[in-house]
Amino acid sequence: MAKDTIAVVGAGLVGAGWAIVFARAGHPVRIFDAEPSVRAKVLDGIRANANDLKHFDLIDDVEALMARITVHDDLGAAVKGVAYVQESVFESIPVKTPVYAALDTLVPDNVPIGSSSSGIPASQFTEHCKTRARMLISHPVNPPYLVPLVELVPAPWTSPDVVDQVHALMTAVDQKPIRVNHEVEGFILNRLQGALLMEAWALAREGAASVADIDKTVSEGLGLRWAFMGPFETIDLNAPKGVADYAARLGKLFHGIAASRNNPEPWEAPLVSEVEKERRVDLAADKIDERRAWRDRRLMALAVHKAKAVKQFG
């Protein structure tokens, strides 16, 4: 059966990634971006990513995927008759607000509209829309076709049915949606990431370890488990009788650590330049793009491994 058409509005880094997610799952995808130069080159970027995915056997057919994606120079034409809209324009209230005012009238009432917003809650740019009940945050991780988590965050006026619909769609296209019950700054992912980052900067500020060794603590330590389980399951398995046992044994230690950081400091310029200096010794500025491509290849290898491991171990 033919799959529903999906519109991707805003086709930078994240929008182009979303196009791959939906097209990979067999959906026709219509892309709109306000910037002609982005429209002109977006398919080349998608093709390069699709070739990488093919190289890792993560997709079967690059040409079939590309054939499902079209680029449009008119927003109305891009969203006509679609079953879902994924918005990924700049992270800015003044940019998102008029886009939502336009989608409010251009997109049929019953079609959900999800925003990739990383931190701005939907209530800040959908309030004045008459169809705001079908608008919500659908926040991906970059690149969405390799990191499947999607945070679904309703505004106070988002219909619970719409959250259910988008949850079902994301599951069907092989993403891993979670429900955030109400708007909270940074949603879940960036609050967890923020807690770790705040501590990493604080440890660097205190000279507790080098930047490289702080990173290594995650890449060769904590992060290995985090590729397949979260913090609660981690501690549930790290005390003989589970999470309550862990809380009894180590709750005081972690409370003490948190209490010692009750006055979080900004990432001030001298500290940032110290960390920058250390990073540039390990990675020259002109090698950052290369290393990003390396990261994506490692993520592809991890996606292959995870799929295999799920089959083998559950």
Ligand X SMILES: NC(=O)c1ccc[n+]([C@@H]2O[C@H](COP(=O)([O-])OP(=O)(O)OC[C@H]3O[C@@H](n4cnc5c(N)ncnc54)[C@H](O)[C@@H]3O)[C@@H](O)[C@H]2O)c1
Site residues (CB under 6 A) for ligand X?
9-15, 32-35, 38, 88-91, 95, 99, 116-118, 139-140, 142
Least gap, CB of 118 to ligand X (angstroms): 3
Residue 12 and residue 41 in contact, taking contact as beta carbons nearer than 8 Å: no
Quote the tokens at residue 310: 């799920």
29 sits in the region (left: phi over 0; alpha: psi -120 to 50; else beta) called beta
Residue 184 and residue 154 in contact, taking contact as beta carbons nearer than 8 Å: no
Least gap, CB of 76 to ligand X (angstroms): 12
Residue 9 and residue 79 in contact, taking contact as beta carbons nearer than 8 Å: yes
Which C-beta is closer to ligand X: that of 90 or that of 228?
A: 90
Which C-beta is closer to ligand X: that of 35 or that of 233?
A: 35
State the amino acid at position 32 in one-letter form. Answer: F
Least gap, CB of 240 to ligand X (angstroms): 39
Rounded to an integer, what is the distance from CA 63 to the centroid of its chain? 26
Residue 121 and residue 134 in contact, taking contact as beta carbons nearer than 8 Å: no
Which C-beta is closer to ligand X: that of 67 or that of 93?
A: 93
Taking Cα atoms as reference points, which of 106, 130, 126 lies closest to residue 115? 126
Which C-beta is closer to ligand X: that of 9 or that of 53?
A: 9
- Integer angstrom CA distances of residue 150 from 156, 186, 214, 223: 19, 13, 28, 19
Least gap, CB of 33 to ligand X (angstroms): 5
Which C-beta is closer to ligand X: that of 65 or that of 85?
A: 85
Residue 130 and residue 116 in contact, taking contact as beta carbons nearer than 8 Å: no
Chain position carrying tokens 């549930």: 236
- Integer angstrom CA distances of residue 36 from 10, 18, 33, 40, 73: 11, 19, 7, 6, 8
Using Cβ positions, the residue closest to ligand X within the complex turns out to be 12
Least gap, CB of 139 to ligand X (angstroms): 6
Least gap, CB of 79 to ligand X (angstroms): 11
Which C-beta is closer to ligand X: that of 15 or that of 154?
A: 15
Which C-beta is closer to ligand X: that of 46 or that of 235?
A: 46
Q: Where are the alpha helices (DSSP H) in 174-287?
A: 189-206, 211-217, 223-226, 231-236, 243-259, 269-282
Which C-beta is closer to ligand X: that of 99 or that of 235?
A: 99
Taking Cα atoms as reference points, which of 251, 232, 252 lies closest to residue 242? 232
DSSP state of 118: S
Which C-beta is closer to ligand X: that of 14 or that of 21?
A: 14
Least gap, CB of 37 to ligand X (angstroms): 8
